[in-house]
Amino acid sequence: MAEALAEVLLVEDSPDDAAFFVRAFEQTGLAARLRVLPDGAEALAFVFGTGRFAALQPAANPRLIVLDLKLPKVNGLEVLRRLKADPRTRRIPVVIWSSSQEARDLAESCAMGVNSYVVKPMAFDEFGRSVQMLCQYWLQFNQAPEQ
Amino acid sequence: MQAEQQLKASLKEINDLKAALDEHAIVAITDPQGKISYVNEKFCIISKYAREELLGQDHRLINSGHHSKEFMRELWTTIARGQVWKGEIKNRAKDGSLYWVDTTIVPFLNEDGKPRQYVAIRADITERKRAEEAFRESEALFSKAFRLSPDCLVISRLSDRTVIRANDALCRLWSSRPEEVVGKPSREYASWLKEEDQQEFLRNLHARGECLNYETTVRMADGRLLDFNISSRMIFFNEEACVLSVMRDVTEHKRAEAAAAQLAAIVQSSDDAIIGKNLDGVITSWNAGAEKIFGYAAPEIVGQSIRQLIPPDRQQEEVKILECIKRGDSIRHFDTIRLRKDGSAIDISITTSAIKDPAGKIIGASKVARDITERKAAEAKIRQLNVELEQRVLERTAELESFSYSVSHDLRAPVRAIGGFARILQEDHAAALAPEAQRLLGRIHDNAQKMGQLIDGLLAFSRLGRQPLNKQPVMVSALVHRALEELQPEHAGRRIKISVTELPDCQADPTLLQQVYTNLLSNAFKYSRDRNPAIIEIGSRDEKGRRVYFVKDNGAGFEMDYAHKLFGVFQRLHRADQFEGTGVGLAIVQRIIHRHGGQIWADAAPGKGAMFSFTLEPKNVYG
C-alpha cells in the first residue's frame, strides 16, 4: 500500500488567518495535505472518528495538529487536554498557534504537554514565515516514531 | 603747844583727806623720772600688781600702748612744765586686761619751781568707756544699715515733709547726693500719683502712729511712674515730730506678677492639658484643660506620679521622656495613649519640654497634651477611605486593562487581515494592478503593519500591569550585559563607545528590570545613531542616600519642556520619519519602575543627548 500523504490539521476559526496559513503552507511545497477545521468540536470529532467523521476511511492520523486557543464550542486548551489524555492521540505533535502571549495560557499549555507554542506574528510576512518554519520543522526535521 | 596742837590737827585733817581720797580714787606718786614711789590700795586692785611689784618701777609698766606717741609726749611736757594734766588713759593690768582711768596729774614743785614729784589721781571709767564704745559701734552699725539698706529710707519732718535724712538708695532713686536732698521738701523729688492715696496714708499714720505696707504709685521728678510699697512710722528726732519711711520699689515685681498672672490665666483657660512635673515624675501643676481631658481635678492629682496616667504597657515611655528632659531635650508632638480617671484610653499628642530654674538648672518638665481622639478618628476614616479608593481604583484599572487587552487582542486579527490581503493582492495580482494601485496597496500594508505594532505595544504594556512582581536579588551588571548582547544586531556596524561603570546589585523583578534596560538602551542606540562615535554610559550614583541607576547617550536628546510627555503611552517627541517607534517603550519602563516603588526621570537637551535615571525603591521617608 502506497504510503498515505502526511496530513496536517489546522484548527482555526478565523477564515482570514486560515487563508493566510493555507497560502503560506502551499508556498512551502511540502508533500502534505492541510485540513482546516473551524472549531474544537469538529477537531475532536475528526481526530477520534466520531460524528460526521465516523465513516472516514482511512481513519484520521494527522502528523501535526496546529491549534488556535480561542475557538468556538470547545476551546483550544480543552482540545489539547483531550488529545494528550488519550493514548491513541497522545503522540501526535500539537502546536498551539495563538495571538495570546498570556503567561497563563503558555503555562497551562505546557502543563498539558503541548509540543510547541508559537505566537501568531502581527505582520503578514512574518506570519507566513512562521507557518512555513513550523510546518517544515515538524514535517521535515522532526523525527517521528513509526506508527 | 598750840602750834603743835594745830599741827596735829592739820595732820589729822590731811590724813583724813588722804583716807577719803584713797577711798574714792586711784592714787599714785612718781618721781620726776616717772619712778613709782607710792601707790594706794585702789591702784593695786585695778592694776592687779602687788604694791611691792610697783614701788620703784617705771610708771610705763602699766602703759597699754593704746595712746599715740604725741599724746604721751604732750602729757609729759605739760607736767614737766609744772602744769596739771587731765585726760583719759587706757592702761594695762598685770594680767594683760585693759582698763580706762580718768586721770589728773598734779606736779608738786620744789623751791626752784621744778617738779619734785607727780601725783596722779585717777578714777576707773572702764565701764563708761565700754558703754561709750558700744554705743559708738552701734551708732556706726545703724547708720550704716540705714545708709546702705537696699530699700529707700528717709526721715522727714511731719509738718512740711522736709527731708532730714535720706539713705543711699533713695538718693540714687532721686539722682541726687545726700547733702543736696537734706533740707529740701520731698515733693521736689517725688509725688503721689493719687491724692486720695496720700490722704488715706496720712490719716492712718496720724491715727495709729504708723502705716505699713501701703502700695501706691509715685510720680518721679523725671516723670517716671513707679510702684512703691511704703511703710512709715512717726518718730521724734531732735524733739521734732518726724516720719521714718521705708519705701520699696515694687514696679518690676508687680509687672512680673501681672505677667505671671496673665500666663497663669492663659494656662488655665487652655483646652490643652498643661501639666507640670518634677524630675521624679511627680505632678506639680494641673490646669483646667488637663482636668477636662483626664477627668482628675487638680487637688486629686497634684503630688501624684504622672505614671498614673500611663497605660501599663507604655510605662517605658515615661522613662525615655524623663531621660530626654534631663538631657535638656524637648519632645514634640509625640502621639500616644494615656488613661483617663475612669480608666478609658485616650489618644493624645504630647509636647514635653524642660523647666529650668533661674540658674538654668533643669528642675522639671512641662507637658502639653492635646486630645487627638477626633484627629485619630479622622485619620482612620481617611485611611479607610484610601483603602476603599485604592481598591476601587484597582478594580477599575483591572476592568479597564482587561477591556483594553481584549480589545487590542481582538484587533490583531482584522489588522493582520487587512495587511495580509493587501500583500496578497500585490503579490498574486501584480499584473492586473496599475502602478498607483500597487503603491496604494503598499501604503495599506505598511499602515496595517504599523497598527499591528501599536497594538502589540499596547498589549505588552497592559500585560505588564497584570503580571505579578517577582522581586529577588538581581545582579544588575549581568542583566545589563545580557540586554546589550540582545541589542547587538540593532547597531551592528556602528561605532559606539559603551561604558558600564559600577552597578550595585538590587532587589527587583529580573525579567522586568531587563526589559527596562533593553528599552532604555534600545532608545539610546536609536537616538544616537547619527553620532560617530555614539557614546553610551550605563552606571549608578548616590543621590540623597538613594541608589540611582542611569543610562546616558550623546544622541538627539529632546526639549525638557516636553519631558512630562515622555512616559505617556503612544507619546513621542520625535517624528516617525526621523526616529521610528511606537511610543510604548518608555511607558513600559515607567510602569515597571513604578511597580517597584521607584521613580524615573530624564535630563536632556536637544542635540546634547539624554540621560534617564531611575530608582528601584521608595523614597526614604526619613531622608
Contact of B415 with chain A, judged by CB distance below 8 Å, is answered with yes
Is pLDDT of B522 > 60? yes
Dihedral in degrees, nearest 10, Cα atoms A105, A108, A111, A112: -100
Q: Is A100 within a domain?
A: yes
Task: Give the CA distances from residue B349 to residues B273, B301, B331, B346, in Å, rounded to whole numbers and listed in that order.
Answer: 10, 20, 10, 10
Contact B409 A23 (CB under 8 A): no
pLDDT at A1 over 50: no
Residue A39 belongs to some domain of the structure: yes
- Give B263's strand partners: none
The answer to whether residue A87 is domain-embedded is: yes
CB atoms within 10 A of CB B16: 10
pLDDT confidence of residue B464: 78
d(CA B168, CA B163): 13
Task: Give the integer Cα–Cα distance in Å for B206 and B225.
Answer: 26
Mean pLDDT over residues B169-193, rounded?
87
Domain residues for the domain of A132 are 6-141
Indicate if the pLDDT at residue A3 is higher than 70: no
Supply the pLDDT for residue A137: 94
Query: Is the CB of residue B489 less than 8 Å from the CB of residue B526?
Result: no
- Per the document, the length of chain B is 623
In this complex, which of B423, B445, B456 lies closest to A122 when CB atoms are compared? B456
Q: Residue B609 in contact with residue B555, Cβ under 8 Å?
A: yes
Q: Is residue A117 part of a domain?
A: yes
Among B409, B412, B420, beta carbon nearest to A20 = B420
pLDDT computed for residue B86 by the predictor: 94
- B248 pLDDT higher than 50: yes
CB contacts of B413 in chain A (<8 Å) are 14, 16-17, 99
Cα torsion angle, B484, B489, B491, B495, sign: positive
- Out of A16-20, B119-123, B464-468, pick the least confident: B464-468
Q: How far is B400 from chain A (nearest CA, A)?
A: 17
Averaged pLDDT for residues A56-71: 87
**Domain-located, residue A1:** no
pLDDT in tens, B11-25: 888 888 888 888 888
Tell me the HSE value of B196 on the side-chain side, using a 13 A CA sphere: 0
| Interchain contact, B459 vs A122, CB within 8 Å | no
Report whether pLDDT(A147) > 60.
no
DSSP 8-state code for residue B622: T
Mean pLDDT across chain A:
89
What is this model's ipTM? 0.79
Q: Please report, rounded to a whole number, the percentage of residues in chain B having pLDDT higher than 90.
A: 35
Domain membership of residue A13 (yes or no) is yes
Give the pLDDT band of residue B621 (cuts 50, 70, 90): very low
Q: Considering only CB atoms, which chain B residues are within 8 Å of A123?
A: 416, 419, 449, 452
For residue B187, name the pLDDT band (cuts at 50, 70, 90). confident
Picking from A99, A102, A125, the nearest residue to B413 by CB comes out as A99
DSSP sequence for B35-100: BEEEE-HHHHHHHT--HHHHTTSBGGGGB-S-S-HHHHHHHHHHHHTT--EEEEEEEE-TTS-EEE
pLDDT at A47 over 90: yes
The confidence score (pLDDT) of residue B620 equals 54
Instruction: Please check whether residue A57 lies inside any domain of the structure.
Output: yes
Q: What domains can be seen in chain B, in order of their start residue?
A: 15-125 (3.30.450.20), 149-254 (3.30.450.20), 281-369 (3.30.450.20), 377-463 (1.10.287), 469-614 (3.30.565.10)
Within 8 A by CB and 6+ apart from B118, the residues are B29, B30, B31, B32, B34, B79, B105, B106, B107, B108
Measured between CA atoms, how close is A2 to chain B, in angstroms?
35
> Do the beta carbons of residue B555 and residue B530 sit within 8 Å?
yes
B403-427: average pLDDT: 85
- Judging by DSSP bridges, how do beta strands A6-11 and A32-37 pair with one another? parallel
Q: Tell me: the pLDDT tens digits for B261-319?
A: 998 888 888 888 999 998 888 999 999 999 999 999 999 999 999 988 999 999 888 88
Domains held by chain A: number:
1
Residue pLDDT, tens place only, B77-103: 999 888 999 999 999 999 999 999 999
Q: What is the pLDDT of residue B552?
A: 93
Angle at B36 between CA B34 and CA B38, to 5 degrees: 140
Contacts of B444 in chain A (CB under 8 A): none
User: What is the rounded average pLDDT for all residues in chain B?
Assistant: 88
Residue B479 pLDDT level (bands cut at 50, 70, 90)? very high
In a domain, A146, yes or no: no
| CATH number of the domain that residue A74 is part of | 3.40.50.2300
